[in-house]
Structure 1
């Protein structure tokens, strides 16, 4: 495994790229810029999106078309014909970044050097679907990307390289997503070169420190004022932009886009609005709501929000049902 800068690319590889969302786009761009022979790009099929529910191609799909690359969007790679078509590509390696499907063993085994995944955590911490947000929710000081050779288990494959990244105090789900996407793109070309040439030996993941990053759900997005303010402030940042952190004010679901911790014990019941700046008492400490958004409206600073939606000091905000 490699933790430091590796040897520059010195050979052209025949590869496939499997990815779907924005996070995967910088890695695909890096492989194109490096001059690799990209035989096919696999992405999830177009899905209905927006108010008109028109089918929309995924970001990786659009990027591939912009570069004139062939795109495959099978409903499932478990289909024998899809597996045969993948094997017929005669690949050196496949690169997988947030593809969105579990790859069957036949696909993992088809390329000569297997499938290399770019995962947005320092494995074995935060295996699974939402490593970026889970790291923020947990208050981790550091995260990063891990490049690994894939196997049948969930993010259990041997590691080729790890690239650490310090999490900033003001980090949001969006900003950390973007920084990690860039970090993965910077790593993929030199690490692939060293891996296929034998200069990197895949290293098994340690058995200690395994955690799982469960998929995010809208059910998690409610701000429960009974929880410590530090947890809620992390949730606001982690869930920006999706699924967003919400609270109920006078029966209306209000999205909280930015918030800050307020020190000192206040002795108030959780959910109590403590002042005219929308500072809310929590189970421990208090949280000041700084940017908010009503349904279908623009994001507003707290002062502007309050001018159109009065929330007097002493108001009691609704508590969500306890999980």
Structure 2
């Protein structure tokens, strides 16, 4: 089949590679326009665009797939199908009907679970034990189209969103190729999604990634892993500065720390939660490089031994500190 591949981030590249190695003919790639990135904020092509240019494939970068010139070019290409992996923009009805067999989307969940922009992250944060990937026929609804095929993947106890998405991107690429094979052979038809089991996975923003230390240790652990590498978990220091956080390790033996309270040992930085403490892994102070949490703590001149009790307690809302007459605790980012 003649294909237009639509995708943008690194996670879409394995699918493009798999299609380039398949019996199908990728005649063009649709991706988001070059975006500014890095400290210099210079314009840079998407990972999919870079790979397509390496392969000598035509690249289309309209500001929106609603662009009439893009839709005219899509019609000229006369593609049989348009496989989609994390393209990043809604495809309008006018464009959905142009490819003969429609747009075939690879989504990283077992639909109808976790429809939306952050299915892998939400699955980890929610404590799911199993997730997967689905191929489905794109329609105007949010990931509501009929399903061609699925696969499942175990969520491992220490998986970050990056770890899990990396495995799903490779396994999903094979699923996408097999789906297109079945469509071309006339042996595969999509099946409507069930009405039960629907859950929504909205995009995570920076505030979603803020650690609430008054949650149980398992919830703190899941949130941080689900936000790694993006958007990146964080907390507030007593002076109001942000500290980026890498994955933590729950420590069920330490139960005497209040939520957000810090204890520094020779090797570890422990932080209290609603249940037991967690050991910090890596920290990223504002404007500085990522470093081991113990190295950060030494540089920040935190006291050794028992929990510090000479700092201010920061609440969830600005200015929400200890009330007059209350005991002050050095919380890393305690919530009210």
User: How big is the shift at 1:187?
Assistant: 1.4
Q: In structure 2, the residue corresponding to 1:125 is in which secondary structure?
A: coil
Residue 56 (1) aligns with residue 44 (2): yes
2: distance between equivalents of 1:35 and 1:195? 13
Question: 1:259-278 counterparts in 2 under 5 A?
Answer: 259-263=248-252, 266=255, 268-274=257-263, 276=265, 277-278=268-269
Any conservation in 2 of the 1:292–1:302 contact (CA below 8 Å)? yes
Cross-structure match for 1:305? 296
2: distance between equivalents of 1:218 and 1:191? 36
Gaps of 5+ in 2: 318-334
2: distance between equivalents of 1:195 and 1:44? 27
1: distance between equivalents of 2:255 and 2:178? 54
Q: What is the RMSD computed on CA atoms of the aligned residues?
A: 1.8
2: distance between equivalents of 1:43 and 1:232? 35
2: distance between equivalents of 1:274 and 1:142? 35
- TM-score normalised over the length of structure 2: 0.88
Larger relative contact order (CA 8 Å, sep ≥ 6): 1
Q: In structure 2, the residue corresponding to 1:192 is in which secondary structure?
A: helix
User: Alpha-carbon deviations, 1:80-123, whole Å to 9, x = none?
Assistant: 33222212211111101111111111211111111100001111
2: distance between equivalents of 1:264 and 1:320? 27
Gaps of 5+ in 1: 1-12
Any conservation in 1 of the 2:257–2:277 contact (CA below 8 Å)? no
Q: In structure 2, the residue corresponding to 1:118 is in which secondary structure?
A: strand
User: How big is the shift at 1:300?
Assistant: 2.4
Any conservation in 2 of the 1:22–1:60 contact (CA below 8 Å)? yes
Residue 127 (1) aligns with residue 118 (2): no
Q: In structure 1, the residue corresponding to 2:246 is in which secondary structure?
A: strand
- Aligned with residue 294 of structure 1, among 285, 302, 321: 285
Any conservation in 1 of the 2:264–2:302 contact (CA below 8 Å)? no
User: Alpha-carbon deviations, 1:134-171, whole Å to 9, x = none?
Assistant: 01100110111100111111000111100100011110
- TM-score normalised over the length of structure 1: 0.91
Kindly report structure 1 stretches of 4+ aligned residues shifted beyond 4 Å: none
Cross-structure match for 2:237? 249
Any conservation in 2 of the 1:271–1:319 contact (CA below 8 Å)? no
